[in-house]
């Protein structure tokens, strides 16, 4: 349900300016839920959700449901928060299932025995006299099908599996590469140490300068 915009509960002491009227007008919010599309099976019953929020409460609130913007299918009224909605007129196939005392300002309806001709736009409209006759509405789109089609996720699962496998192989390759490079580096460092040690031994045996060969003491004067 969409959150209502911030507003104050107290009415202004002096006649409201144009800005005050604008703020009050938008204190009323109507929502049909997180998604505005519904799919129903032919000959089934379908729920058309609708809720409203108001910052300053409501009095003699009027709500209506329209099909394709012009055909009235439900007309109701709510005296105040402590009373349940009262139906004024409704299409015989439309059933009111909302509540203002048990549920949070719920004015949802159920369309019974759905037909293909029922597919279209359904508008939930609310008018609140307490908010200077502020009005707001929300729309939900209904599609009617012969049978529900189960989504085949096989291709998606295959793609995810292949991509996951490739990523796994790439990570394995990088690990092997790091291990091989580490081993090569260690091997090269070992060879360098052997060469330095061998070179030192050769110099000692040949009595070269800088070697550890015994040097003769200088002659005495």
Q: Which of 41-45, 70-74, 168-172 has the lowest mean pLDDT?
A: 168-172
Whether pLDDT at 9 is above 60: no
Q: How far apart are CA 78 and CA 87, in angstroms?
A: 9
Please report the pLDDT score of residue 24 as a whole number. Answer: 44
Of 8 and 176, the one with more pLDDT? 176
Whether pLDDT at 60 is above 60: yes
Please report the pLDDT score of residue 200 as a whole number. Answer: 60
The CATH label, of 3.40.640.10, 3.40.50.12780, 3.40.50.2300, 2.60.40.10, for the domain at 28-145 is 2.60.40.10
pTM as predicted:
0.59
Torsion angle (degrees, nearest 10) of CA 135, 141, 144, 145: -160
Please report the pLDDT score of residue 183 as a whole number. Answer: 87
Reported as a single tens digit per residue, the pLDDT across 131-189 is 999 999 999 999 999 987 776 667 777 888 888 888 988 898 888 988 888 888 888 77
Q: Provide the mean pLDDT of the chain.
A: 81
Q: Which of 19-28, 45-54, 91-100, 176-185 has the lowest mean pLDDT?
A: 19-28
- pLDDT category of residue 48 using cuts at 50, 70 and 90: very high
Please report the pLDDT score of residue 106 as a whole number. Answer: 96
Q: Where are the domains of the chain?
A: 28-145
Q: Which of 93-102, 145-154, 171-180, 193-202 has the lowest mean pLDDT?
A: 193-202
């Amino acid at each position: 349900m969409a959150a209502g915009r911030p507003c104050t509960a107290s009415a202004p002491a002096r006649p409201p300016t144009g800005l005050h009227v604008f703020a009050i007008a938008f204190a009323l919010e109507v929502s049909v839920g997180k998604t505005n599309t519904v799919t129903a099976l032919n000959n089934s019953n379908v729920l058309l959700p609708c809720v409203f929020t108001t910052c300053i409460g409501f009095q003699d609130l009027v709500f209506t449901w329209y099909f394709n913007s012009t055909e009235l299918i439900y007309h109701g009224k709510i005296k105040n928060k402590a009373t349940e909605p009262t139906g004024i007129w409704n299409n015989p196939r439309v059933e009111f299932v909302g509540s203002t005392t048990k549920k949070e300002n719920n004015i949802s309806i159920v369309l019974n025995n759905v037909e293909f001709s029922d597919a279209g736009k359904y508008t939930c409209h609310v008018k609140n006299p307490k908010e200077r006759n502020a009005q707001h509405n929300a729309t939900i789109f209904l599609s009617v099908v012969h049978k529900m089609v189960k989504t085949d996720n096989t291709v998606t699962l295959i793609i995810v599996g292949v991509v996951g496998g490739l990523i796994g192989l790439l990570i394995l390759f990088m690990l092997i590469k790091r291990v091989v490079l580490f081993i090569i580096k260690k091997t090269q460092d070992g060879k360098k140490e052997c060469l330095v040690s061998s070179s030192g031994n050769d110099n000692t045996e040949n009595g070269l300068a800088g070697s550890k060969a015994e040097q003769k003491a200088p002659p005495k004067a």
